[in-house]
Structures are given as C-alpha cells and as structure tokens.
Amino acid sequence: MKKSLSFTLLIAASVMVGLAIVEETTCSGMQAFAATIDGASENQSTLEKRSAASRFIAQTIAQSVDSKQGIPLTSTTIANIAERVAPAIVNIEVNQPVQGLSYPFGNLPDGFDFFFNGQRMPRGGNGNGAAPRPERHNTGTGFIVREDGYIVTNAHVVKGSSKITVTLNDKRQFEATAIGVDSFSDLAVLKINAKGLPTAEMGTSTGLRPGEFVIAIGSPMGYDHSVTLGIVSAVGRTVTDVNGNINFIQTDAAINPGNSGGPLLNMIGQVVGVNTAIAARAQNIGFSIPIDIAKPTVTDLIAERKIERPFLGLKVGALDETTLKALGLPAGTAGVFISQVFNGSSAAKSGLERMDIVQKIDGKDINTAQQLQDAVRARKVGESLNFMILRNKAVKPVTVTIGNYPSDPHEPSLPGRPSPGPKADSDDE
C-alpha cells in the first residue's frame, strides 16, 4: 500500500516539477529576447530556481509519505475523502423531554452552545416551575466504529432521550439503543440491529499541530452529510465552560447545530476527533474531543464495563486578596478555597464544607486548583486522601475517601457559609 502511495506521489511530484519548470521558463517575447542577450547569468538563475522548486516539492512529498498526513491538496482531495468516509457517518434524531433536561456538565454559560439543529438547546427546563413542555426533536451526528452496528456520538446528543433514530448514508433507518453514556468525557455508544456496515477508520490525535488541515462531516441544521474544511486552530485547549475534563482540539472547520458527535478527519480520512461544541458568539471556533482520549472510553462502553474515575464532588477557587480579606485571613495564606460541595458526594460525606481552605493533601502543599485535581486523579476510586484544611482560622485534618464520577455531577450543593470570594475557577473534582 505504501509503495503504491509512494509511486502515485512520485508521479504527482514529477508532474508538479514539470509545471514548475514550465512556469519558470515561459516568458513573453520581450523577456525571451532579454534572456538571449544575457544568456549565461539567466540560465544559471533559471537552473537554481528549478533546483529549488524540485527540492521543495520532493521534500513536501517525502514528509507526506513519512508522516502519513495525506497527499498534496488538489481540487478533488476533499471530495474523495468525503466520498470514502460518508457511508460510515450517520444522522441521529432524538426525542428528549424539555423539562428537567440537563447537560453532562450542567447548564452552559452564555456564549457556548452544544450544536444541535434548530433552536438553541434549553438550559435545564423552563425555569419557572410551569408544566413540562412536549418532547423536543433534535438532531446530532455519529460515526460507525464496528460493522455490527456500534456507533460513537456525544453523550449530550442522546442523554435523557426517549427515542433514538439512526439514518444511514443509504437512507436506511434504525431505532438505536444507547448501550453506554459517559458524562465525564461526553461520549456515548449506540447500537443498531445491522451487520456488514462500513466503518470509519480511527487515526491518532497525538502529534496534531496547529495549521494542519481537517475535515468535519455532520448534520448541521439537519442537513446530513455536510462537509466542511478547516485547520487545527489549537491543541490541548482547556474550555472549562464546556468540559474541564478534556483538553480539546480547537478547529475553524465550519460546524453548526447538528454536528455534535460527528468526526473530525485528517487528510487521509481518519478520525482524529469527535466534534462536540462551538463558541456560539464567535465564528468558526469549534471544539473536538481528541480521538486518543475517546478510544479507551469507547472500548469500555462497547464492552459495557463500568468506567471508574476519581471524583470528590467539590469546586475550588483561588485564594485572592478579596477572599482572604473577607475571611479575615492574612495576606499570603496558602491554599485553595472550596466554593461548592455537591450533596451526597464523597467530599460531603467526609465532612468537607464550603469555604474550607485546602492547604495540603498527603503532606504536599496545595496552592492551585490544578494541584488539587492532579492529587485526586493520581489515585483510584475507593482510596483515601489526607487533607489538611483551614476552617474558621483553625487547622483541621480530614480524611476523604475518593468516590466515582457520577452520571450527573451537578447535584445541588450543600448549604454552607456564603462565598465571600470570586466565582470558582476550577472544574468539578
């Protein structure tokens, strides 16, 4: 396969070099006359330009083959990739009750939307205590990962749905079952009763660089199998308002309501990301879950294995000057303050309270939310952490048993002292 690809690229390189040479040596009548007069120096210059063009093209082709990042872009490259991958892309239609609908990471703040078709998704019900509205019809995207009917999409596409309908590229429709939904990663796996289905090829998100071409295929606004081209705008992007658990791929490939759960493809048609959210107040700022993060979760969901992830059930914020002053603590006091404790969480059961200041965990200083998260995620569910906290200006030890990440982490927080400081700047932990 590689030899065949290399041969094809070699032919393409030869044609491109030929075109470069023709371009360099094609002149108007006056330019040709001038070249004749100053033959020696001009011939040398032309040869150098030809050589430089040849080296550049050969280097580009070699890099394309070695890194398996695709072939030089032509007018049909994207169309060929889309045509090849399209049979593995599916349209997902769901019925979801509006009342009580919740997102895997709580209600998104203004400025961010999960990209379903039609109207903006409701943010946790009608909010005024009125009777539930009828079920809402929404559209998302997915891609087939096994020929026997397993499909990957986003958790927020199917969570809480009463009915899921999958439409294949050949227009066949199937009722689907969500066999696994993981709120932590916002991934879900659906199953339809079909065999011999085409599948999307999994690539790798490791090594993706800003500036690389990527392709998004999905069902924006219900227009299934829409294809858009863009680039990787950034990698390792943390978007706590969407999902602080994931370091996203940011892309400017045009994605819109309905693209949720669709694939982000590299230039050889492999899946490198799962399109998840957009910045609603901006243009072409989309976020995709890296496929290397998605793969193990998808494998566990297909096997219907319980996924355990360390979780305490609290939010923490930085100890800034305003917070310290409100708590009557001296400047320079170390630690992070707990701004929220979820009801029924391991943090609540262990006795942690709002406005406790976490100063040490297992003897190590804690000065940032990230340090606390790292301490928790380095341990397993069921293990214990020894907290040293500051409460009412007194140091107190607290042993916390690590719990498992719940299906809906956004439970009401426990009552406690009013928060004197700024809004918490960390994710749920």
Give the tokens for residue 94.
């769901």
Cβ-contact 215, 264 below 8 angstroms: yes
Among 185, 205, 226, 260, the active-site one is 260
CA–CA separation, 177 vs 161, rounded Å?
A: 10
Among 64, 161, 182, 186, the active-site one is 186
Catalytic site includes residue 225: no
CA–CA separation, 308 vs 287, rounded Å?
A: 25
CA–CA separation, 393 vs 241, rounded Å?
A: 32
CA–CA separation, 249 vs 241, rounded Å?
A: 15
CA–CA separation, 88 vs 194, rounded Å?
A: 13
Cβ-contact 204, 292 below 8 angstroms: yes
Among 156, 185, 224, 427, the active-site one is 156
Cβ-contact 244, 205 below 8 angstroms: no
Inter-CA distances, 22 with 37, 53, 93, 94, 151, Å: 21, 12, 54, 57, 50
Catalytic site includes residue 137: no
Give the tokens for residue 82.
């889309």
Please identify which residue in the block is written with the tokens 């863009």: 230
Active-site positions read 156, 186, 260
